[in-house]
């Protein structure tokens, strides 16, 4: 008769249990100019979470988001808002940071609009903040 080994669930030692979260934290991606620009695009254009957008902005960009918040104050949530997609067109260094240019496609009940959004990002210490952003309408296809 052969001996059968019983498999036990893996149990981490106390030390391993404490080190695992630290190891995973160390693997977290450091922010980049592009990741911060895309956090703004997600918060401002897709999620319409202006508080989240304020967290990644400074200067003129922060003021623009604050003005938008005043305009929509008390409006309540918009169920089933438009679908927004974006893609990076280019990234270029500037004297004060990085300018990232995106093409946005906004689909609202089958009506499609396109915009170009320029996002200026500055490095502040170990992180980045969006200093300014502006959009222009692109011609409709068809």
Could you read off the pLDDT of 120-135 as tens digits, one per residue? 999 998 899 999 999 9
Q: Is residue 19 part of a domain?
A: no
* Domain range enclosing 114: 31-73+82-137
Q: Average per-residue pLDDT in the chain?
A: 84
Res 108 pLDDT > 90: no
Q: Is residue 7 part of a domain?
A: no
Q: Is residue 90 part of a domain?
A: yes
Total structural domains within the chain:
1
* E strand segments, the chain: 83-94, 97-108, 111-124, 127-137
Report yes or no: 115 and 137 within 8 Å, Cβ to Cβ.
yes
Q: Is residue 11 part of a domain?
A: no
- Spatial separation of the C-alpha atoms in residues 138 and 13, rounded to whole Å: 58
Helix (H) or strand (E) holding 34: helix 33-41
10 Å CB burial of residue 117 (0-12, 13-18, 19+) is buried
Helix (H) or strand (E) holding 66: helix 59-72
CATH value at residue 131: 3.10.450.50
Calculate mean pLDDT across residues 82-87: 93
pLDDT band at 82 (very low <50, low <70, confident <90, very high): confident
Q: Is residue 5 part of a domain?
A: no
Q: Is residue 12 part of a domain?
A: no
Report yes or no: 64 and 133 within 8 Å, Cβ to Cβ.
yes
Predicted local distance difference test score (pLDDT) of residue 79: 66
Percent of the chain with pLDDT over 70: 75
Res 109 pLDDT > 60: yes
pTM beyond 0.95: the answer is: no
Q: Is residue 21 part of a domain?
A: no
């Amino acid at each position: 008769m052969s001996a059968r080994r019983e498999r036990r669930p893996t149990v981490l030692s106390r030390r391993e249990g404490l080190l695992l979260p630290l190891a995973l934290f160390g693997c977290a991606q450091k922010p980049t100019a592009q990741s911060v620009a895309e956090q703004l695009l997600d918060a401002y254009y897709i999620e319409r979470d202006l508080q989240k957008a304020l967290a990644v902005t400074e200067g003129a960009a922060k003021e623009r988001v604050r003005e938008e918040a005043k305009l929509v104050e008390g409006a309540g949530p918009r169920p089933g808002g438009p679908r927004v997609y974006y893609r990076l067109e280019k990234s270029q260094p500037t004297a004060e940071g990085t300018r990232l240019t995106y093409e946005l496609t906004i689909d609202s009940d089958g009506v499609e609009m396109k915009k170009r959004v320029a996002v200026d990002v500055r490095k502040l210490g170990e992180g980045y903040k969006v200093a300014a952003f502006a959009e222009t309408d692109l011609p409709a296809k068809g």
